[in-house]
Amino acid sequence: MRMIFDPRQIAHAPALEMHNGGWTAHAEVPGRAANILAALGEASVPVDHGLAPITAVHDAGYVAFLEAAHDRWLAAGREGDAVGYIWPVARRRDVPLDRIDALLGRYSMDAGTPITGDTWDASYWAAQSALTALDAVLAGERTAFALCRPPGHHAGADYLGGYCYLNNAAIAAQAARDAGAERVAILDVDYHHGNGTQDIFWDRDDVFFASLHGDPRIDYPFYWGHADERGEGVGDGATLNLPLPHGTTIAPYLAALDQALTAIRDFAPDMLIVSFGADTYEADPISHFAIRTQDYVEIAGAIAKLALPSVIVMEGGYAVEALGVNVAEFLSGF
Ligand code: SP5
Ligand code: ZN
């Protein structure tokens, strides 16, 4: 299977994330991509599709902010990575914002997603990798894998968070629509709920979003991913959330996956985007499922039975030493 990756995705390396009241080493490290590359071998570099497919999903003000944020941080006399400290919860939104701290709050959902001097380039090329994987599938390949790093599914139209800046899966899904796919399904099998993807397609009936994830009553991102969230307006019913308890093993996982796959079959999409996170792995340091390496073949095999042209986009997975093997198992199941 073709793997798409750009070396410019490596340099992005936030030092710290806010966790349990203190700063801790950032979990989304460059070694993740290196481990996957070592396990899978040759990658093709992405084709540059420009900004248009990115701004087809993301707010133009947000994209301009993201591109300039680290320079503005340095211009404000700061060092290191840019991160916010104040968030506009229910305050007015009409005040023109100028201070970098105000912008960081406006366009962030957490303090776990710092912006470095390399973040824009890495995010841009991760999105281009997803778009290039889509090209391969549009050209007739059955599946293609975009080694997206940084990941994307927590990023909304106008916010970053959860180690994500640009929503690679959403950008690919929208580009598929714009290339003529009538209906697109996104299946999110990262450990965490894909809140950004859900938000982006929340009130639409042309993109179905299904997610299996750690129950947000006890897990990040808390405010999204509960079972009663089903979409809104014409999008009512085009979102499916399947929260699962800590300790979930392969049998109940496959049962929930079967529900998601049935719903996707009923939606009858022309194309599938898989947001794949290997943080469901039993030894993942920040997650709480019990999926084993050999289980990824079965998970992928069940998804592949949809027999849809599929773009697989990398999301999370933080057990770095096992990451490449877990990804390879998943792709072999396809
Ligand atoms: C793409 C993805 O999997 N994002 C996950 C974001 C989860 N962030 C909040 C979890 C807090 C765990 N912090 C771990 C600190 C490691 N030093
Ligand atoms: Zn995750």
**Residue range 302-324: mean pLDDT, rounded:** 98
Instruction: Give, for ligand 1, the residue of 123, 167, 188, 192 to mutate: max count of ligand atoms closer than 8 Å to Cβ.
Output: 192
**pTM score over 0.95:** yes
Sequence-ordered list of residues with C-beta below 8 angstroms from that of 65, at least 6 positions apart, any chain: 103, 106, 107
Question: What residues have CB less than 8 Å from 195, skipping those under 6 apart?
Answer: 109, 153, 154, 156, 161, 162, 221, 223, 224, 225
Ligand with smallest separation from the Cα of 152: 1
- Please list, residue by residue across 61-89, b when 16 or more beta carbons sit within 10 angstroms of its beta carbon and e when fewer do: ebbebbbebbebbeeeeeeebbbbeeeee
What contacts 273, CB < 8 A, 6 or more positions away? 169, 172, 173, 176, 184, 185, 186, 187, 310, 311, 313
Does the Cβ of 6 fall within 6 Å of ligand 1? no
Average pLDDT in the chain: 98
Residue 154 is a catalytic residue:
yes
Q: Is 5 helix (H, G, I), strand (E, B) or coil?
A: coil
pLDDT band of residue 93 (cuts 50, 70, 90) is confident
Largest CA distance in the chain: 55
For the ranges 10-24, 90-104, 167-181, 296-310, which has the lowest average pLDDT?
Answer: 90-104
Q: Hey, which of 109, 165, 220, 281 would you mutate to test ligand 1's pocket, going by the most ligand atoms within 8 Å of its Cβ?
A: 220
Least confident of 91-95, 160-164, 290-294, 315-319: 91-95
- Sequence-distant (≥ 6) Cβ neighbours of residue 42 within 8 angstroms: 3
pLDDT at 266 over 80: yes
Specify the pLDDT at position 319: 98
Separation of 67 CA from ligand 2 center, angstroms? 24
Does 212 score more than 80 pLDDT? yes
Q: With contact defined as beta carbons under 8 Å apart, do 242 and 213 qualify?
A: yes
How confident is the model at residue 92, as a pLDDT? 83
Ligand 1 atom nearest to CA at 26: 17
pLDDT in tens, 309-318: 999 999 999 9
Is the CB of 25 inside a 6 Å radius of any atom of ligand 1? yes
pLDDT the model gives residue 188: 99
Out of 12, 26, 70, 154, the active site residue is 154
What pLDDT score does 6 carry? 98
Model confidence pLDDT, tens digit, residues 100-120:
999 999 999 999 999 999 999
CA–CA separation, 46 and 49 (whole Å): 9
**pLDDT number for residue 32:** 98
- Confirm or reject: Cβ of 169 under 6 Å from ligand 1: no
119-138 helix and 168-178 helix, angle to the nearest 10 degrees: 40
Residue 220, both tokens: 């990040």
Q: Ligand 1 atom closest to Cα of 154?
A: 1
Please check the confidence at residue 90 and state whether its pLDDT lies above 80.
Answer: no
pLDDT band at 64 (very low <50, low <70, confident <90, very high): very high
Query: Around ion ligand 2, which residues have CB less than 5 A away?
Result: 190-192, 277, 279, 316
**Cα 278 to Cα 327: distance, rounded to the nearest angstrom:** 7
Mean pLDDT score, 174-197: 99
Strands 143-146 and 2-4: parallel
Q: Give yes or no for residue 243 CB within 6 A of ligand 1.
A: no
Which ligand 1 atom sits nearest the alpha carbon of residue 190? 3
Q: Whose CA is nearest to atom 16 of ligand 1?
A: 27
- Per residue in 118-133, pLDDT (tens digit) is 999 999 999 999 999 9
Q: Which atom of ligand 1 is nearest to the CA of 153?
A: 1
